[in-house]
Amino acid sequence: MSNSAKSIHPCRPNLEAPLNDVFKNIFARRSVRDYLPDSVPDHVIRELIAAGTYAPSAVNKQPWRFVVIKNRALMTELSQKAKELWMAKDTSAANPEIIKLANMVSRPGYDIFYNAPLLIMIFAHPDAFSPQIDCALAAENMMLAARSLGMGSCWIGLASPLGQVPSIMNELGVPDDCKLVGSLIFGLPANLNQKAPKRDEDVILNWID
């Protein structure tokens, strides 16, 4: 067993076999927080969304709906609004991780979207059977598809409070009954070889043959 193969993950079934492109892409995807300013062409955005729509969905409800935002000024405005919403939260009884987040967003120059050139917000329509799971599957498809094209991406959970503000949802053209599930940024990464945060290796609870 070679050390380089072992370092990927002990759960890999055949540590000597070369990785195929799908596996390579899965292992190479990273949450990117530093982007080049180049904008993402519209046809690529459509391909990312198409990849999202090929995710599985419970009872084949395909509940995902997308809002594409390429306008940097609007993204800055949304980042500022999300930061204000986080800072207004009562963190007196919050756990340390929430307090750390609140401190991070309160930094004046911090853009929750990391100045990325593209934001795609994913909403679930009201007829969804399992909206969060289905939309998260779509999101991962999109992030992997982006990586396969040499692009970076990141799920921005810090944008979630925006979904609670009807006036913002209105401004974005989102129907009242669609719920925000996730916000993804995309763009060309400043560094394509970002190191992966260490993965837990002791993840198998039980193995019953």
Ligand X SMILES: Cc1cc2nc3c(=O)[nH]c(=O)nc-3n(C[C@H](O)[C@H](O)[C@H](O)COP(=O)(O)O)c2cc1C
Q: How far is the CB of 146 from ligand X (least distance, A)?
A: 12
Total number of residues binding ligand X (CB under 6 A)?
10
By C-beta, is 84 or 127 nearer to ligand X? 84
Report which secondary-structure segment, H or E, holds 132: helix 131-148
Q: What is the CA radius of gyration of the chain?
A: 19
Instruction: Please pick, from the candidates 158, 168, 174, 181, the single residue that binds ligand X as defined by CB under 6 A.
Output: 158
By C-beta, is 103 or 170 nearer to ligand X? 103
Q: Is 66 in the site for ligand X (CB under 6 A)?
A: no
Q: How far is the CB of 68 from ligand X (least distance, A)?
A: 19
Q: Is 31 in the site for ligand X (CB under 6 A)?
A: yes
Q: Is 30 in the site for ligand X (CB under 6 A)?
A: yes
Q: How far is the CB of 25 from ligand X (least distance, A)?
A: 13
**Cβ atoms 81, 168 nearer than 8 A:** yes
- Cα 74 to chain center, whole Å? 19
The pair of three-digit structure tokens given for residue 121, joined into one six-digit string:
């917000």
By C-beta, is 31 or 115 nearer to ligand X? 31
Q: How far is the CB of 185 from ligand X (least distance, A)?
A: 9
What Cα–Cα distance (Å) separates residue 156 from each residue in 10, 141, 185?
Answer: 29, 16, 7
Q: How far apart are CA 33 and CA 176, in angstroms?
A: 31
The pair of three-digit structure tokens given for residue 124, joined into one six-digit string:
């679930």
Applying the rule CB under 6 A, the residues between 95 and 154 that interact with ligand X are: 154
Q: Is 70 in the site for ligand X (CB under 6 A)?
A: no
Q: Is 180 in the site for ligand X (CB under 6 A)?
A: no
Q: How far is the CB of 156 from ligand X (least distance, A)?
A: 4
Q: Is 196 in the site for ligand X (CB under 6 A)?
A: yes
Neighbour order of strands in the sheet with 179-187: 64-69, 118-124, 179-187, 152-155
Q: How far apart are CA 194 and CA 190, in angstroms?
A: 9
The pair of three-digit structure tokens given for residue 114, joined into one six-digit string:
């990391």
E-strand stretches of 93-178:
118-124, 152-155
Residue nearest to ligand X (CB): 157
Binding site for ligand X (CB under 6 A): 30-31, 33, 154-158, 196-197
